[in-house]
Amino acid sequence: MGVERKKPHVVHIITRLDLGGAQKVCLLLVEGIKKEGGGVSLISGTQGELAGIASKFDSVYLLESFRHKISLRNILLEFKAFFQIILLLRALKQKHKNIVVHTHTPKAGIIGRVAAFFAGVRKIVHTVHGLSFNSYQPWFLRFAIKTVEWFVSLITTHFICVSKLDYEVCKKLYPRFVKKSSIIRPAVDWKLFFKPAKKAGKIQIEGINYGEAAGVYEEKTKNQIVIGCISCFKPLKNLIDLFESFREVEFKLRGKIDIFLQVAGDGKLRSLYEEWIRKNNLKEKITLLGWQHDVANLMNNWDIFAMTSLKEGLPCGVVEARFAKLPVISYDVGGIAEIIQHGKNGLLIKPHDVSSFTKSLTLLVEDKNFRQRLSNYSDEISDYQNEVMCKKHINLYSEL
């Protein structure tokens, strides 16, 4: 009989704990490892809506100095965070002889991996939740990011990509990438969203009054269609394209079908979006909900999931939408095409093609049978279940 390997103690490092996909994946891994009896720690900044939830776990270190935004004005904080992480990792390394550091998101990926190296950790994993460089950045910034990532790749024991598209890009950039990488899908707490089939008819909803404020019961009739989106309010999330498309569809179908758009999310562009909604007289039609913890309940009342993002890895919102049996309409970016099959469970549109997006959204809203067919498509998405994702990670940690 072979000797059973001792489970490693895994230290996850992420910059902040907002309601993004990488953060949800990170916390699901922390929870999953604990359930399997493994040792796990978490190092993060104090920012984000999920920081309070994370603090319920043992061995969680929330550092005030560990900020999301890179800033020359806060260069002393950057160094402070770096050295604090080194000291924490050294202490954890003394306590747990077999240690794996697993970093998430670009900034935490750089600082966390370099800190792990200087702390003497030799098993360093990084998840590429989405590429840190893109064609929308100035060339010099893109070059600088690629250069730094190349050097840090040399001390990375193993890479995890959430999409095949990112995997194909990375294998051309980083030395020996194919030999030390794998694809593990970004999972969600799928049981919260799972529906065998989407049933037609009236839905009793709570907390959403379509025209005005939240907090009352409302009955959605068959002539009402709710389009939903989950997004932070950043330029590359490109919500203006979605707003403009919605405006055209709403105007065309006015008097026939009553449509609404709900966006779960928030960010620095909120005031700009609110001004756009006001100027276009759509305050009764478009609702900016802020960050929502109970996304599953929201999706229960949505008929369509829509995205016009210009850059993605493989967004958890799309995965959640398909477990909830929502037809998805999205720009074809990142790894979205790896879960959405055009004309089968959703519609994929070329980025910035607002005209085609509007035509497709109109079709989805108008044609109930088409919408229902896309909803009830039998996806093969078991790899996106949190139990499956956690098991694959635990096996990987043990094999390093």
Nearest CA-CA partner of 161 in 188, 134, 187, 182:
182
End-to-end CA gap in the chain: 21
pLDDT for 182 beyond 60: yes
Residue at 268: amino acid letter:
K
Q: Same CATH fold, 190-381 and 9-187+385-399?
A: yes
Contact 341/270 with Cβ under 8 angstroms?
Answer: no
**Domain segments of the chain as ranges:** 9-187+385-399, 190-381
**Those residues with Cβ within 8 angstroms of residue 99's Cβ, 6 or more apart along the chain or in another chain:** 8, 9, 10, 11, 89, 92, 93, 121, 123
392 phi-psi bin (left φ>0, alpha ψ -120 to 50, beta other): alpha
CA distances from 13 to 49, 59, 99, 359, 365 (A): 17, 12, 13, 43, 42
pTM of the model: 0.89
What pLDDT shows up at residue 210? 34
What CATH number is given for 9-187+385-399 in this structure?
3.40.50.2000
- Strand segments, DSSP code E, in 98-168 are 99-104, 124-128, 158-161
What pLDDT shows up at residue 365? 97
140-174 per-position pLDDT tens digit: 999 999 999 999 999 999 999 999 999 999 999 99
CA distances from 387 to 54, 155, 185, 188, 256 (A): 19, 29, 11, 9, 44
Q: Strands of 304-307's sheet, edge to edge?
A: 286-290, 258-264, 224-230, 304-307, 328-331, 346-349
* Token code pair at residue 279: 């100027």
Confidence of residue 5 (pLDDT cuts 50, 70, 90): low
Nearest CA-CA partner of 121 in 142, 151, 95, 160:
95
189-247 per-position pLDDT tens digit: 999 998 876 654 433 333 333 333 333 234 455 689 999 999 999 999 999 999 999 99
Mean pLDDT of the chain: 90
What pLDDT shows up at residue 208? 35
Which has more pLDDT, 214 or 43?
43
- Looking at the DSSP bridge assignments, the partners of residue 217 are 206
Per-residue pLDDT, averaged over 63-78, amounts to 79
Q: Give 171: exposed, middle or buried? Use CB within 10 Å, 0-12, 13-18, 19+.
A: middle
> How far is Cα 341 from Cα 338, in angstroms, rounded to an integer?
7
223 phi-psi bin (left φ>0, alpha ψ -120 to 50, beta other): alpha
* Token code pair at residue 181: 């990488």
pLDDT for 316 beyond 80: yes
The length of the chain is 400
317-326: buried (b, 16+ CB within 10 Å) or exposed (e) per residue? bbbbbbbbbb
Most trustworthy range by pLDDT among 2-11, 48-57, 233-242: 233-242
CATH fit for domain 190-381, picks 3.40.630.10, 1.10.3720.10, 2.40.128.690, 3.40.50.2000: 3.40.50.2000
Which has more pLDDT, 3 or 274?
274
What pLDDT shows up at residue 201? 41
What pLDDT shows up at residue 236? 94
